[in-house]
Amino acid sequence: MNTNQFSTFWVDECLYGVNIKMVQEITKSMTVTEVPLAPDYIKGLINLRGQIATAVGLRELFKIPASEKENGKINVVCKSETYLLSLVVDEVGDVLELEDNLFELTPETVSPEVSKFMTGVYKLPNNLLSVVDIQKIIDFLNV
Protein backbone atom coordinates (compact mmCIF):
# COMPACT_ATOMS: atom_id res chain seq x y z
CA MET A 1 0.00 0.00 0.00
CA ASN A 2 1.40 3.42 -0.95
CA THR A 3 1.68 6.10 1.71
CA ASN A 4 2.55 9.79 1.84
CA GLN A 5 3.94 11.81 4.74
CA PHE A 6 2.56 15.23 5.61
CA SER A 7 3.73 17.97 7.91
CA THR A 8 0.49 19.21 9.46
CA PHE A 9 -0.55 22.55 10.89
CA TRP A 10 -3.63 24.40 12.05
CA VAL A 11 -5.22 27.57 10.74
CA ASP A 12 -8.24 28.48 12.82
CA GLU A 13 -9.92 25.15 13.65
CA CYS A 14 -8.90 23.44 10.40
CA LEU A 15 -6.10 20.90 9.94
CA TYR A 16 -3.93 21.32 6.85
CA GLY A 17 -0.92 19.44 5.58
CA VAL A 18 1.94 19.82 3.12
CA ASN A 19 3.88 16.93 1.62
CA ILE A 20 6.90 16.55 3.89
CA LYS A 21 9.23 16.55 0.87
CA MET A 22 8.31 20.22 0.31
CA VAL A 23 9.07 21.33 3.90
CA GLN A 24 12.51 22.77 4.58
CA GLU A 25 12.01 23.76 8.21
CA ILE A 26 9.52 24.97 10.80
CA THR A 27 10.37 28.05 12.86
CA LYS A 28 8.79 30.32 15.41
CA SER A 29 7.80 33.82 14.42
CA MET A 30 10.67 35.57 12.65
CA THR A 31 11.54 39.13 11.70
CA VAL A 32 9.58 40.00 8.60
CA THR A 33 10.44 42.86 6.27
CA GLU A 34 7.18 44.30 5.02
CA VAL A 35 6.61 44.78 1.30
CA PRO A 36 4.91 48.11 0.53
CA LEU A 37 1.62 47.87 -1.39
CA ALA A 38 1.58 44.06 -1.16
CA PRO A 39 -1.76 42.28 -0.68
CA ASP A 40 -2.72 41.54 2.95
CA TYR A 41 -1.78 37.85 2.64
CA ILE A 42 1.84 38.78 1.85
CA LYS A 43 3.27 39.26 5.33
CA GLY A 44 6.65 40.24 3.90
CA LEU A 45 10.08 38.74 3.33
CA ILE A 46 12.10 36.59 5.74
CA ASN A 47 15.86 36.13 5.61
CA LEU A 48 16.68 32.49 6.38
CA ARG A 49 20.46 32.36 6.67
CA GLY A 50 20.89 34.24 3.41
CA GLN A 51 17.89 32.74 1.59
CA ILE A 52 14.91 35.02 1.09
CA ALA A 53 11.46 33.52 1.65
CA THR A 54 8.10 35.14 0.98
CA ALA A 55 5.93 34.94 4.10
CA VAL A 56 2.29 34.21 3.24
CA GLY A 57 -0.42 34.38 5.88
CA LEU A 58 -2.69 31.42 5.20
CA ARG A 59 -5.45 32.94 7.32
CA GLU A 60 -5.53 35.96 4.96
CA LEU A 61 -4.96 33.92 1.78
CA PHE A 62 -7.83 31.58 2.70
CA LYS A 63 -10.03 34.54 3.77
CA ILE A 64 -10.38 33.23 7.34
CA PRO A 65 -11.26 36.02 9.82
CA ALA A 66 -8.65 37.05 12.38
CA SER A 67 -8.74 35.10 15.62
CA GLU A 68 -9.47 36.57 19.04
CA LYS A 69 -6.72 34.39 20.55
CA GLU A 70 -3.83 35.34 18.29
CA ASN A 71 -1.36 32.50 18.79
CA GLY A 72 2.34 32.97 18.31
CA LYS A 73 2.67 32.65 14.57
CA ILE A 74 4.64 29.71 13.23
CA ASN A 75 6.46 29.62 9.88
CA VAL A 76 6.32 26.44 7.83
CA VAL A 77 9.08 27.07 5.31
CA CYS A 78 8.47 25.20 2.05
CA LYS A 79 10.66 24.95 -1.01
CA SER A 80 10.13 24.30 -4.67
CA GLU A 81 12.88 24.14 -7.27
CA THR A 82 12.88 27.90 -7.69
CA TYR A 83 11.05 29.43 -4.74
CA LEU A 84 11.15 29.58 -0.94
CA LEU A 85 7.78 30.14 0.70
CA SER A 86 6.99 30.57 4.38
CA LEU A 87 3.43 29.70 5.35
CA VAL A 88 2.39 31.66 8.44
CA VAL A 89 0.11 29.33 10.42
CA ASP A 90 -1.49 29.31 13.88
CA GLU A 91 -0.07 26.08 15.24
CA VAL A 92 2.03 23.12 14.11
CA GLY A 93 0.65 19.58 14.20
CA ASP A 94 2.30 16.20 13.80
CA VAL A 95 3.90 14.49 10.85
CA LEU A 96 1.35 11.99 9.56
CA GLU A 97 1.93 9.03 7.26
CA LEU A 98 -1.30 8.31 5.43
CA GLU A 99 -2.35 5.57 3.04
CA ASP A 100 -3.42 6.59 -0.46
CA ASN A 101 -6.78 4.82 -0.06
CA LEU A 102 -7.81 7.50 2.50
CA PHE A 103 -7.35 10.27 -0.09
CA GLU A 104 -10.34 11.98 -1.72
CA LEU A 105 -10.72 14.93 -4.05
CA THR A 106 -11.52 18.27 -2.43
CA PRO A 107 -15.19 18.29 -1.35
CA GLU A 108 -17.45 20.88 -2.93
CA THR A 109 -18.25 22.18 0.57
CA VAL A 110 -14.75 23.69 0.84
CA SER A 111 -14.79 27.40 -0.01
CA PRO A 112 -13.30 28.35 -3.41
CA GLU A 113 -10.73 30.58 -1.61
CA VAL A 114 -9.25 27.45 -0.03
CA SER A 115 -10.02 24.71 -2.58
CA LYS A 116 -8.03 26.40 -5.37
CA PHE A 117 -4.87 25.78 -3.29
CA MET A 118 -5.68 22.16 -2.39
CA THR A 119 -5.09 18.78 -4.00
CA GLY A 120 -7.64 16.96 -1.85
CA VAL A 121 -8.35 15.65 1.64
CA TYR A 122 -7.62 12.67 3.83
CA LYS A 123 -10.35 11.40 6.12
CA LEU A 124 -8.84 10.82 9.55
CA PRO A 125 -10.62 9.13 12.48
CA ASN A 126 -11.37 12.45 14.25
CA ASN A 127 -10.70 15.06 11.60
CA LEU A 128 -10.20 15.97 7.97
CA LEU A 129 -6.72 16.80 6.66
CA SER A 130 -6.79 19.30 3.80
CA VAL A 131 -3.71 18.90 1.59
CA VAL A 132 -2.21 22.23 0.51
CA ASP A 133 -0.42 22.31 -2.85
CA ILE A 134 2.63 24.57 -2.44
CA GLN A 135 3.08 24.89 -6.21
CA LYS A 136 -0.49 26.23 -6.58
CA ILE A 137 0.30 28.97 -4.03
CA ILE A 138 3.58 29.80 -5.77
CA ASP A 139 1.83 29.97 -9.16
CA PHE A 140 -0.84 32.25 -7.64
CA LEU A 141 1.81 34.59 -6.16
CA ASN A 142 3.63 34.81 -9.50
CA VAL A 143 0.55 35.89 -11.44
| CATH code, domain carrying 125 | 2.40.50.180
What is the C-alpha separation between 53 and 50, in angstroms, rounded? 10
pLDDT band at 95 (very low <50, low <70, confident <90, very high): very high
Q: What is the pLDDT of residue 143?
A: 60
For residues 7-30, give the mean pLDDT: 94
For the chain, the domain total comes to 1
For residues 14-41, give the mean pLDDT: 94
Q: What is the pLDDT of residue 104?
A: 95
Q: What is the pLDDT of residue 70?
A: 63
pLDDT at 54 over 80: yes
Full residue range of the structural domain in which residue 75 is found? 3-141
With pLDDT > 90 as the criterion, what percentage of the chain qualifies? 85
Cα R_g (the chain), whole angstroms: 15
